[in-house]
Structure 1
Amino acid sequence: MRLLGYADRLSVPAGGRIEFKIGCELPEFTPSLVRLRRGGSPVHECDLLEDDVLDDEVAAQLPATVPGRVQVSRAGSCVEAAVRGDAVVHGAGLAAWIHPTLLEGEQTVLALTAPDGSAGYRLAVTADGCALRDAGGTELARLDAAPVLRQWSFVAATVSPAGEVRLELHRPGGGIGGASADVAGAPSWRGGQLRIGAGGRGEPTGFFNGRLARPVVSGSGWAAEATARLAAGAAAVEVLGADGVSALALGRDPASASVADDGSLTAGGTAVNRPASAVPGPFWSCTETDLRRVPDEYDALHLHEDDLDDAGWETDVALRVPADLPSGAYALKVRAGEHVDRIPFVVTPPAGARPAPVLVVLPTWTYLAYANWRTYAEFEEERVGLYGERRGVDPRDRWLARHPELGKSLYDVHTDGSGVMYSSRARPIVNIRPDYFTPTTRGLRHFAQDLSLLHWLDGRGEDYAVITDDELEDRGADALAGHRVVITGSHPEYSSARMLDAYESFTAHGGRLMYLGGNGFYHVTNRHSGPSGAVEIRRARGSTTAWASGAGEEHLSGTGEPGGLWRWRGRAPQRAFGVGMTAQGFDKASGYRRSAQSRAVDWVFDGVDVAVGEVFGDEGPGLGGAAGDEIDRADIALGTPADAVVLATSIGHSASIVLVADDRTISHRAPVSPDPRVRADIVVFDRPGGGAVFAVGSIAWSTAMTHKGGDNDVSRITANVLDRFRDHAGPAVGA
């Protein structure tokens, strides 16, 4: 891809400012603003629809052409700190506890460098041993004893002013290796830079993969007995004092990128590219898994060579969105010859605007969870077995597989095999595009699919506004207040407690909610402060998951709260939304059979020629039906209100539609086949306070709404509910 970009945010209020960062290998590109009406492309079953925004205010801000330039992303996490300018370095001491998770090549544990890079020391490890090098890379000492993979070791190197070098490795079980050497005196300098987990004079290099704790650096070295005390667990300032010593407290504030220094050598450091925090250190007692109760035991960071929080690209185009621009989905469209990219964003209503009758909440945290998911190209053959057919791969995924520097999704693992816990918007994300092809559904999913919902609303002439998960997190219940109907996107899987509270408050105060998706409100999620807008999860065991968090690592670093599924915290989706995740499979979707209960709310089926016991929604684009992809069931035991009406239940799922691990247990009873829990339920119910909820229990629903241009039963049922919820103030059930 020779033209690619990203915005500094995924949404902006009308009247607000948004910036775009563009990487272009061609001499120039042309920007324009478009409103996205429908997702699609020549390889989808529908075409992309977009309207040029012909606004004088926009035209005045967008240049006719912009010079192209290559912008580079640099992955890899470390901690950086500036050595105080008045601090003298003459000799050095460098030590840290390390828990390597990948020992390929030479990896830097600690680096101390003079301001001009002419002098310094770098402590490094390999699969074969440890080494201390000077700033030019010359080996000063080598120890042919390596740290143990995935176990804690203590490594230390000292250089006296006279040039006496000592290198030690303390391994599990009490094994100690040591080496010594003499060099021709130690250089002296003032100031400089300290790096933890990386070296390099300019951009960081030689990244360490693994946990690292209790780093100690001094500007003058220390005695051998001090090394022994540090290796026994003594605090650095207790052993060495604070003067001329750095003891960066890596785990003290796991939610922050700032790292305090208990010594005086630096004024504190900064974590680069968000290494994993809230992970236990070398002296974790294994008696407590909540870092808030034993913070001193959570004193490590997990560093990775492929961490990426902020690509750091420069701004090429800035836009002040007109205050009267209608709320909706837009994109900065950039073109250079035959190369085109559309960088999407949502325009939300300005502060103080009259609430539209209908509000759509696009699940941008789910978009970020899947951002730059690498499985399609990297595991293409394995996915053929999953689908039962070859569905093709978007060319952007093949390009992405060649560019690891753009970061990964929350479904991927790092090069060391550990799970990716954070996903940021501050980078190019190739699969949040209106024309992106998703093999899972033979075309549309996530953002591109949710554009179909907006297109459907446009076709009905609805007065609606659009916000994202970010506005819901920022404003809570106030973000929904005043709107009569709130509609979710197709896959609102990742949500915070504040977001759940907002939905519950909305329906408790008379609001009507239409949950038009599946696998929603499933994973405990947090958003970190800062410009990258990174979201965080931990994947607890006992769920259908791409990876599992390590021992003691199931609490979010941003809030300290337990991660995993909301279900295990007593907030299963059924409580607020009537249905919750039950199964998934991607071979084909099914239809729904109308229930006898539905007679109590017969208005839902007005104009729908489907009697009780008959099937509807068994055709459509993508997977071929309305009940598919990931599906939800009603379950009173998990919180579905007892008065909820199950309007219809899906039928005919294949053996490829698999029950989630949350519900699978070992039993001596013979299994029932097919499992009755593998189903999608459509429910409607009232809430105390005058609110109501309608939920369809399937990601595939809104795609099926587009079948035959919207002339189908799934579309008519959705329209009936929207009209009733918007215009009828009485109860939904039995009214």
Structure 2
Amino acid sequence: MDVVGYSDPICVSPGDKVSLMISSADPEVQVSLVRLRQGDGRPAEPVAGSLDGVYRAGPQPLRRGSYVRVPHDPRLDLGAAFSVVLWAQPTLVGADERALIGKQDGSGMGWSLSMTEDGRVRFTVTGENGADRVETSRRLREGDWHCLIATFDGPGEEISVTVLPVRPWTVASQSVISENAETAARATVTRPAPTQAPLLIAGALARDDSGEHVGSAFNGKLAAPRLFGRALTRAERTAERDRTELSAPPVPAAAWDFAGVIGTRNVLETTGNAPHGRTVQLPTRGVTGPRWDGHGNPAEDPGRYDAIHFHDDDLDDAGWNPTVEWTVDTGLPSGVYAAHVRGSRAGEDYIPIVVRPPRDRATAPVLLVAPLFSWLAYGNVRALEQYGGKGDAPSRYVLDHGLNSTYDTHTDGSGVCYSSWRRPLLNLRPGFHLPILESPHQLSADLLLVDWLHHHGHEVDIVTDADLHHEGAALLDRYQVVLSGTHAEYWSAQMLDALETYQNSGGRYMYLSGNGLYWVTGLDEEEGHTIEVRRQGAAVSAWHCAPGEGHLSTTGEPGGLWRWRGRAPQHYVGVGFSACWSTTPKATGAPYVRGPGSHDPRASWIFEGVSTDEPIGDFPNQVLSYGAAGYEVDRADPSLGTPPHALILATATEFPADHWMPATEELTNPNLRADMVFFETPSGGAVFSTGSITWCSALSYDNYANNVSTITKNVLSRFLSPDPFNPPPTP
């Protein structure tokens, strides 16, 4: 793309500062503020303000690949004799040489342990009088743990590399290291050249036309890196693989513990003789190490989780320089905005910014919680992009740069569990259409609800999941009515707690989503811009965690569905995920048919203006082409928490069987249906749930004159009334 960018943070209040990171093929860009109220491609609304202007710009590269950086310290300059010990489990061999550990500058001075393009282990020591190098004759086996030991004993002595598989094969292999292997040669170099370079694990310094950067990213797990100030004996090397206590002799000169503080980016040095390290681009932590035996979890048994899984396509923070530092105009109304960026010669982009109300008060009676965690989970989703085969610039950018969502897998096949807003998110744009359906999705679908609210003159404040996560029920309590987005799938424990507290204190909640409150989601509290998801257990899932790796590194809690944590969506909104379209372009939704609950005096007001026998949403919409119940739908279930006094108002069941399937967790109870539900909550509150992602995409049909719009308007109007809701007497 000629112009592309991202904002940090993505949600701000008037008076806050937001940075716009922009990469442009042109030396200047024109930036202006627009308000987003429609997700169907109609023009955005220009907003005059202090952001408008021309700014200096230029191209900014994306540097993918995770690693650990330990800052330079003179104590890390090894002498004429030393040893390096590292455990390695490669998950992808090929392409080119990949770094394991080293302290080497961009010109190659220093030392390094690496894996060649065909999987052999290479140890290189480069000094002022030349370079020594040894490498194994056979390769590491993907998916197996190996203890790697490199020793250097000075000129005239030995340089060696030893590989000890954790599980030697019973049958020898000519190509793969299947038993203990050692390669040695006579050293000629006096010592590795001292350098100001950092010590890097899973990456190496490189230089190109853009300057010095870290490359050669390793794919796989590494564990227990240690440095010794002498060459280990052969007996000591053999003992390394079987060591159960890392503090036992011989004592290292430096060692780093990958099991400690895994909820942060810190990597602790344990001897006190060298600096601590930091992970870069967020490799996966809380993963099983070489001593894992099928038991424990990272919190209870960290010694079995002393590994980090690195990937060459990890990208947590693009690290671009700010093109614009903008202080949000005082008095700017809450809403969804975008920085409209245009190159001086070519290219444009819309970078979304959610402007929330001032942090100490509400400015409207209605609150829309934009599902930021779901936006991030789907951010740059290649799994669905590739179905469409579209050749537009955003799709090409995502594919060409290997950008990932939590629905994708890394280049080594492992699941992507982190997603950050500090990078371009090309499907988080006002006009984005999911290629397989040619329809709005996530942000662009949520704007259909914003459009409807604006059309009917409702004043509304907008915040995001991150705000709800941090501020809890105190944020919701300022509002008479709270609305969900259209696909509010990813929730943290703090968000669920806040919703439940709000409901129990008289709040009114309109759940206008399907497949909501589904995945356990963590927020990286250290930096605050990254979510985490661990996919495990019965669920509709794009991938599954490796055995033993189902706990979130950011929070320590078990991942998977909230349903399997005893917090099913039915407990909060009366309905939970039931079925979904089977990712085929021909799939359509279905209308709802009213049931006896719609005629109960407690809820009959919801259907004022709607005929008794009138199908609800029996017309085209902007997502999945037809039917107010569609894409992904939810059903009531008392066994999962639907309140006993909840009324099922209407149900949709006529989904095309060839293009729909029950949710995986529903296979023992395949009720392929969508339920519309209403129930009262304590202190005069109430909940209305549609149980369908496509509900909001039907709101504008026939110029907003349709029964989906009528029902939504009836509910919102009644929820805004101060009159309390009274639950029926307990039988």
Report the TM-score when normalising by structure 2: 0.92
Contact 1:218–1:265 (CA<8 Å) still a contact in 2? no
For 1:533, the equivalent position in structure 2 comes to: 529
SS in 2 for 1:247: strand
Contact 1:88–1:219 (CA<8 Å) still a contact in 2? no
Q: Render the CA deviation track for 1:95-119: whole Å, top value 9, x for unaligned.
A: 2111111111322211122698533
Structure-to-structure mapping, 1:671-682, within 5 angstroms: 677-682=671-676
For 2:667, the equivalent position in structure 1 comes to: 664
Contact 1:582–1:679 (CA<8 Å) still a contact in 2? yes
Partners of 1:653 and 1:395 lie apart in 2 by 35
Contact 1:584–1:660 (CA<8 Å) still a contact in 2? yes
Match of 1:321 among 320, 324, 328: 328
Shift of 1:339: 1.9
Contact 1:684–1:732 (CA<8 Å) still a contact in 2? no
Gaps in structure 1 of 5+ consecutive residues: 42-46, 382-391, 666-674
SS in 2 for 1:89: coil
Partners of 2:77 and 2:89 lie apart in 1 by 31
Q: Report whether the alignment pairs 1:717 with 2:711.
A: yes
Partners of 1:171 and 1:696 lie apart in 2 by 56
For 1:628, the equivalent position in structure 2 comes to: 630
Q: Render the CA deviation track for 1:692-720: whole Å, top value 9, x for unaligned.
A: 10000000000001111211100000000
Shift in CA distance, 139/715, structure 1 to aligned 2, threshold 3 Å: farther
For 1:605, the equivalent position in structure 2 comes to: 607
Partners of 1:702 and 1:272 lie apart in 2 by 40
Mean Cα deviation higher: 618-627 or 412-421:
618-627
SS in 2 for 1:318: strand
For 2:73, the equivalent position in structure 1 comes to: 84
Partners of 1:252 and 1:631 lie apart in 2 by 41
For 1:360, the equivalent position in structure 2 comes to: 368
Partners of 2:27 and 2:503 lie apart in 1 by 53
Partners of 1:265 and 1:83 lie apart in 2 by 13
Q: Report whether the alignment pairs 1:261 with 2:261.
A: no
Q: Which structure 1 residue ranges, 4+ long, deviate > 6 Å from structure 2?
A: 732-735
SS in 1 for 2:68: strand
Q: Render the CA deviation track for 1:187-225: whole Å, top value 9, x for unaligned.
A: 253764211112225422222111111111235433323
Shift in CA distance, 415/602, structure 1 to aligned 2, threshold 3 Å: same
Match of 1:96 among 86, 93, 106: 86
Shift in CA distance, 654/410, structure 1 to aligned 2, threshold 3 Å: same
Mean Cα deviation higher: 614-623 or 594-603:
614-623
Shift in CA distance, 149/730, structure 1 to aligned 2, threshold 3 Å: same
Partners of 2:219 and 2:106 lie apart in 1 by 26
Match of 1:552 among 543, 548, 562: 548
For 2:305, the equivalent position in structure 1 comes to: 298
For 1:160, the equivalent position in structure 2 comes to: 153
Q: Report whether the alignment pairs 1:110 with 2:101.
A: yes
For 2:283, the equivalent position in structure 1 comes to: 275
Match of 1:228 among 231, 238, 241: 238
Shift in CA distance, 84/617, structure 1 to aligned 2, threshold 3 Å: same
Shift of 1:138: 5.8
Shift of 1:513: 0.1
Amino acid at match of 1:397: S
Partners of 1:615 and 1:661 lie apart in 2 by 29
Shift in CA distance, 146/468, structure 1 to aligned 2, threshold 3 Å: same
Query: Aligned-pair RMSD on alpha carbons?
Result: 2.1
Q: Report whether the alignment pairs 1:414 with 2:421.
A: no
Shift of 1:153: 1.0
Shift of 1:128: 4.6
For 2:342, the equivalent position in structure 1 comes to: 335
For 1:345, the equivalent position in structure 2 comes to: 353
Shift in CA distance, 3/256, structure 1 to aligned 2, threshold 3 Å: same
For 2:479, the equivalent position in structure 1 comes to: 483
Shift of 1:442: 2.7
Partners of 2:310 and 2:684 lie apart in 1 by 50
For 2:588, the equivalent position in structure 1 comes to: 588
Partners of 1:13 and 1:118 lie apart in 2 by 49
Shift of 1:267: 1.1
Partners of 1:318 and 1:68 lie apart in 2 by 13
Q: Render the CA deviation track for 1:244-290: whole Å, top value 9, x for unaligned.
A: x22111121111101111134521101111110011110112122x2
Amino acid at match of 1:650: A
Partners of 1:597 and 1:40 lie apart in 2 by 34
For 1:52, the equivalent position in structure 2 comes to: 46
Amino acid at match of 1:248: W
For 1:204, the equivalent position in structure 2 comes to: 214
Contact 1:159–1:166 (CA<8 Å) still a contact in 2? yes
Partners of 1:219 and 1:270 lie apart in 2 by 23
Q: Render the CA deviation track for 1:494-553: whole Å, top value 9, x for unaligned.
A: 001100011111111011000001000000000102446110010003111100000000
Partners of 2:108 and 2:597 lie apart in 1 by 76
Amino acid at match of 1:359: L
Shift of 1:456: 1.0
Amino acid at match of 1:65: V
Shift in CA distance, 470/682, structure 1 to aligned 2, threshold 3 Å: same
Contact 2:65–2:281 (CA<8 Å) still a contact in 1? yes
For 1:247, the equivalent position in structure 2 comes to: 255
For 1:389, the equivalent position in structure 2 comes to: none
Amino acid at match of 1:94: V
Amino acid at match of 1:358: V
Contact 2:154–2:188 (CA<8 Å) still a contact in 1? no
Shift in CA distance, 454/393, structure 1 to aligned 2, threshold 3 Å: farther
For 1:385, the equivalent position in structure 2 comes to: none
Q: Report whether the alignment pairs 1:124 with 2:134.
A: no
Match of 2:461 among 437, 461, 465: 465
Shift of 1:377: 4.1
SS in 2 for 1:150: coil
Shift of 1:689: 2.1
Shift of 1:439: 2.8
Contact 1:8–1:531 (CA<8 Å) still a contact in 2? no
Q: Render the CA deviation track for 1:644-686: whole Å, top value 9, x for unaligned.
A: 0111001310111110110214xxxxxxxxx861111100000
Shift of 1:394: 5.2
Mean Cα deviation higher: 695-704 or 723-732:
723-732
Q: Render the CA deviation track for 1:479-500: whole Å, top value 9, x for unaligned.
A: 1112000000001100011000
Structure-to-structure mapping, 1:643-654, within 5 angstroms: 643-654=645-656
Partners of 1:625 and 1:190 lie apart in 2 by 66
Contact 1:360–1:464 (CA<8 Å) still a contact in 2? yes
Shift in CA distance, 676/164, structure 1 to aligned 2, threshold 3 Å: closer
Contact 1:210–1:304 (CA<8 Å) still a contact in 2? yes
Amino acid at match of 2:404: K
Match of 1:194 among 192, 199, 202: 199
Amino acid at match of 1:658: M
Mean Cα deviation higher: 555-564 or 530-539:
530-539
The percentage of aligned residue pairs carrying the same residue is 34
Contact 1:155–1:170 (CA<8 Å) still a contact in 2? yes
Shift in CA distance, 595/728, structure 1 to aligned 2, threshold 3 Å: farther
Amino acid at match of 2:475: A
For 1:217, the equivalent position in structure 2 comes to: 227
Q: Render the CA deviation track for 1:358-396: whole Å, top value 9, x for unaligned.
A: 000000100000001112443447xxxxxxxxxx67542
Gaps in structure 2 of 5+ consecutive residues: 169-178, 207-211
Partners of 1:402 and 1:194 lie apart in 2 by 30
For 2:64, the equivalent position in structure 1 comes to: 75
For 1:310, the equivalent position in structure 2 comes to: 317
Report the TM-score when normalising by structure 1: 0.91
